[in-house]
C-alpha cells in the first residue's frame, strides 16, 4: 500500500472558507433552526473543525412543510418546459459554484478530490436527464367501452421528503431533488448529519434560482428532524438512502401518521462470482474496483464478497492483494490520492470492529486492517484497505454489511453451492458475474437475488437503468423513468359521452 509522501499535503485541506457556517433553506431564505441549535462539522482526515450547520427540529419541519404546501400548487401549474427550464438554470448555477462545493465536500466527507469531481458532474448530468424526461409523464387511454372515454393522468403528490446518505452527499442531494421537482412536487431534503455542509451551499444556490418554498433543505439529526419529516401527516411520499435497519424504522414511523408511499435504497452485501474461464488479470482489477476503495468502501453497491472458483483462487487472490497494497491512501485534497479517510468516528469504530471480528472468527488477514503509518495519519479516521482470505459463509464479515474498506474472499467449486452462498444473506442490492460463457453468465445472473447485476463488468451506472434492491436492500427503483413516475399518483377519469 502506498501512502502520501509528506505531512505538508494535509495542510491543503484547510482554506479560507473554513470554518464555514451553513444555514438551512426554508421558503426561499437561508435561516437558522427555530431553536438556535447547531451541529459541528469536522474534517475526518484531520479532526479539524470545519464548520457548523443548524440542528433542525420538529418546528423547522412544520415551517418547511407549510412553505412547501403554499408553493407547490403554482409550481405544478407550470408547463413541463417551464419546470425543466428552472432545473437547467439550477444545474448551470451549481456548475458555476462547483469548485466551492468540491472543496467543502472533500473536507466534510474525507473522500478523495479526484473522485468527488465525478460526483458533482454526474449529479448534474442526472439533474439534466430528469429535466428532459418531463414529457414522458403521460397517461393512457383504455378502450374499455366503445361509447365512452377512459383515460389516466399523472399528478404530483404535493410535498415529498428525501432523506440522504453520508457517502455521496452533494450527488444524492442534486439527484434527489430532480425527479420530484420535475413531476410537480415541492421537496424537503434532509442531508446526513455526518456530512451536511455541501447541502447548505446547494441551498444558497437554489435560493437564487428556484421559486421560494419549492425546495427546502433541513439539516439536523436523523432521530429529530428526520423523524419529524417521516411522521408528518401531510408528507405522503418519502424516499430514504441508508442502512436497512434505519429503512425499516422509517417504514414503521411513517405508518403511524398516515398511509404513505415510501421507497428505500438500502445496504448491500454484494457477491462477485468468478467462474474458472474468467480472465484473471481483468477479474483482479475489477474485484478491487468493485470494492469502491476510492470511497473507503463506503458504498452500498460495493462487491464486498469475492467468490473465486478454486481453479483460479490462489492466482486471483495474489493479484488482488498486490493491487490493494498499491492503493495510495492519503490527503483527500491530493489529486493522486486513491483512498481517503472514513467518514465519521462511529463508522470508523464499526469498520475496526469488523477487522477484529474477522480475525477472531478465523479468517486470514492478508492485507491492511490497521491505521496507516506516517505523520499525516496520526490524526483523523484512517484505516488501510483490507482483504480477508479463507472466509467462510457463516462469518460476520461474510454476512453483514460493513460499509468500509474490507473485502472478503471465499472459495467455491460447485455452481449451485456458490449461488446458494451468494443468496444466503438478507440483502440483495447488486452483484457481479464474470465468465466468458455468456449462457453460464446469464443463467447465474438470473439466479442471483439482486436488483442490479453486472456481467463481466462492475460499477457501471448508466442513465435510465433502474436501480434498487431485493430483500432488505430496499423497495422501489430509482435513476430511470420509474423514479419519475413514482413521484406521481395515477388518476383514472371515466368520461360518459
Is residue 405 domain-resident?
yes
Asked if the model's pLDDT at residue 12 lies above 70, the reply is: no
Question: 24-26 and 29-31 as β-strands: parallel, antiparallel, unpaired?
Answer: antiparallel
**Across residues 437-460, what is the average pLDDT?**
96
Is residue 45 domain-resident?
yes
Q: Are residues 365 and 283 in the same domain?
A: yes
Is residue 136 domain-resident?
yes
CATH of the domain at 58: 3.40.605.10
* Percentage of the chain lying above the pLDDT 70 cut: 97
Q: What's residue 6's pLDDT? A: 38
- 41-51 pLDDT per residue, tens: 999 999 999 99
Q: What's residue 11's pLDDT? A: 43
Please tell me which residue in 300, 384, 478, 483 is annotated as part of the active site.
Answer: 300
Q: Are residues 421 and 277 in the same domain?
A: yes
Average pLDDT over the chain reads: 95
Q: Are residues 179 and 301 in the same domain?
A: no
Q: Are residues 46 and 126 in the same domain?
A: yes
Is residue 1 domain-resident?
no
Is residue 2 domain-resident?
no
Q: What's residue 460's pLDDT? A: 85
Is residue 480 domain-resident?
yes
Please tell me which residue in 265, 384, 401, 483 is annotated as part of the active site.
Answer: 265
Q: Are residues 174 and 302 in the same domain?
A: no
- 109-157 pLDDT per residue, tens: 999 999 999 999 999 999 999 999 999 999 999 999 999 999 999 999 9
Q: Which domain holds residue 26?
A: 12-266+474-493
Domain total for the chain? 2
Q: Are residues 417 and 317 in the same domain?
A: yes
Identify whether the C-beta of residue 433 lies closer than 8 Å to the C-beta of residue 453: yes
Q: Are residues 331 and 396 in the same domain?
A: yes
Confirm whether 265 is a catalytic residue.
Answer: yes
Judged by average pLDDT, the poorest of 262-266, 351-355, 370-374, 458-462 is 458-462
Q: What's residue 17's pLDDT? A: 76
Q: Are residues 182 and 318 in the same domain?
A: no
Is residue 467 domain-resident?
no
Q: Are residues 228 and 334 in the same domain?
A: no
Q: What's residue 15's pLDDT? A: 57
CATH of the domain at 365: 3.40.309.10
Asked if the model's pLDDT at residue 378 lies above 80, the reply is: yes
Q: pLDDT-based confidence at 232, cuts 50/70/90?
A: very high
**Across residues 57-64, what is the average pLDDT?**
97
d(CA 226, CA 63): 14
Q: Which residue has better confidence, 434 or 6?
A: 434
Give the position of cell 414511523: 253
Q: Are residues 167 and 309 in the same domain?
A: no
Q: pLDDT-based confidence at 10, cuts 50/70/90?
A: very low
- 277-334 pLDDT per residue, tens: 999 999 999 999 999 999 999 999 999 999 999 999 999 999 999 999 999 999 999 9
Is residue 478 domain-resident?
yes
Q: Are residues 197 and 332 in the same domain?
A: no
Q: Are residues 262 and 292 in the same domain?
A: no
- 403-413 pLDDT per residue, tens: 999 999 999 99
- 65-79 pLDDT per residue, tens: 999 999 999 999 999
Amino acid at each position: 500500500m502506498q501512502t502520501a509522501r509528506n505531512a505538508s499535503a494535509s495542510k491543503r485541506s484547510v482554506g479560507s472558507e473554513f470554518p464555514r457556517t451553513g444555514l438551512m433553506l426554508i421558503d426561499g431564505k437561508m435561516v437558522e433552526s427555530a431553536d438556535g441549535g447547531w451541529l459541528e462539522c469536522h474534517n475526518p482526515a484531520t479532526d479539524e473543525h470545519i464548520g457548523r450547520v443548524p440542528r433542525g427540529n420538529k418546528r423547522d419541519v412544520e415551517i418547511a412543510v407549510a412553505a412547501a404546501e403554499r408553493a407547490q400548487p403554482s409550481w405544478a401549474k407550470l408547463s413541463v418546459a417551464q419546470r425543466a427550464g428552472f432545473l437547467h438554470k439550477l444545474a448551470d448555477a451549481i456548475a458555476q459554484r462547483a469548485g466551492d462545493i468540491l472543496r467543502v465536500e472533500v473536507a466534510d466527507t474525507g473522500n478523495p478530490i479526484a473522485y468527488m469531481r465525478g460526483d458533482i458532474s454526474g449529479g448534474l448530468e442526472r439533474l439534466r436527464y430528469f429535466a428532459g424526461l418531463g414529457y414522458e409523464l403521460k397517461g393512457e387511454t383504455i378502450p374499455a367501452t366503445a361509447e365512452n372515454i377512459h383515460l389516466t393522468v399523472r399528478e404530483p403528490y404535493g410535498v415529498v421528503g428525501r432523506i440522504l446518505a453520508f457517502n455521496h452527499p452533494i450527488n444524492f442531494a442534486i439527484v434527489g431533488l430532480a425527479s420530484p421537482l420535475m413531476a410537480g412536487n415541492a421537496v424537503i431534503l434532509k442531508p446526513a448529519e455526518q456530512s451536511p455542509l455541501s447541502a447548505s451551499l446547494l441551498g444558497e444556490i437554489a435560493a437564487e434560482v428556484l421559486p421560494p418554498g419549492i425546495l427546502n433543505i433541513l439539516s439536523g439529526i436523523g432521530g429529530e428532524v428526520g423523524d419529524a419529516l417521516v411522521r408528518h401527516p401531510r408528507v405522503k411520499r418519502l424516499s430514504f438512502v441508508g442502512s436497512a435497519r434505519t429503512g425499516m424504522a422509517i417504514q414503521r414511523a411513517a405508518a403511524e401518521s398516515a398511509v404513505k408511499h415510501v421507497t428505500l435504497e438500502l445496504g448491500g452485501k454484494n457477491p462477485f462470482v468468478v467462474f474458472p474461464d474468467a480472465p484473471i488479470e481483468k477479474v483482479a482489477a475489477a474485484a478491487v474496483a468493485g470494492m469502491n476503495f476510492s470511497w473507503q468502501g463506503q458504498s452500498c453497491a460495493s462487491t464486498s464478497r469475492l467468490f473465486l472458483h478454486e481453479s483460479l483462487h490462489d492466482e486471483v487472490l495474489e493479484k488482488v492483494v498486490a493491487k490493494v497494497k498499491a492503493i495510495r491512501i492519503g490527503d483527500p485534497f491530493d489529486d493522486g490520492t486513491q483512498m481517503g479517510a472514513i467518514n465519521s468516528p462511529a463508522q470508523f469504530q464499526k469498520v475496526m470492529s469488523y477487522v477484529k471480528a474477522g480475525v477472531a472468527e478465523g479468517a486470514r488477514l492478508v492485507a491492511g486492517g490497521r491505521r496507516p503509518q506516517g505523520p499525516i495519519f496520526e490524526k483523523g479516521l484512517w484505516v488501510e484497505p483490507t482483504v480477508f482470505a479463507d472466509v467462510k459463509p457463516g462469518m460476520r464479515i461474510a454476512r453483514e454489511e460493513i460499509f468500509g474498506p474490507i473485502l472478503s474472499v471465499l472459495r467455491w467449486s460447485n455452481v449451485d453451492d456458490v449461488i446458494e452462498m451468494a443468496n444466503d444473506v438478507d440483502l440483495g442490492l447488486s452483484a457481479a458475474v464474470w465468465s466468458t460463457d455468456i449462457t453460464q453468465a446469464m443463467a447465474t445472473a438470473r439466479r442471483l437475488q439482486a436488483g442490479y447485476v453486472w456481467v463481466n463488468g462492475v460499477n457501471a451506472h448508466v442513465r435510465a437503468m433502474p436501480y434498487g434492491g431485493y430483500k432488505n436492500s430496499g423497495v422501489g427503483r430509482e435513476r430511470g423513468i420509474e423514479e419519475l413516475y413514482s413521484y406521481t399518483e395515477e388518476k383514472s377519469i371515466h368520461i360518459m359521452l
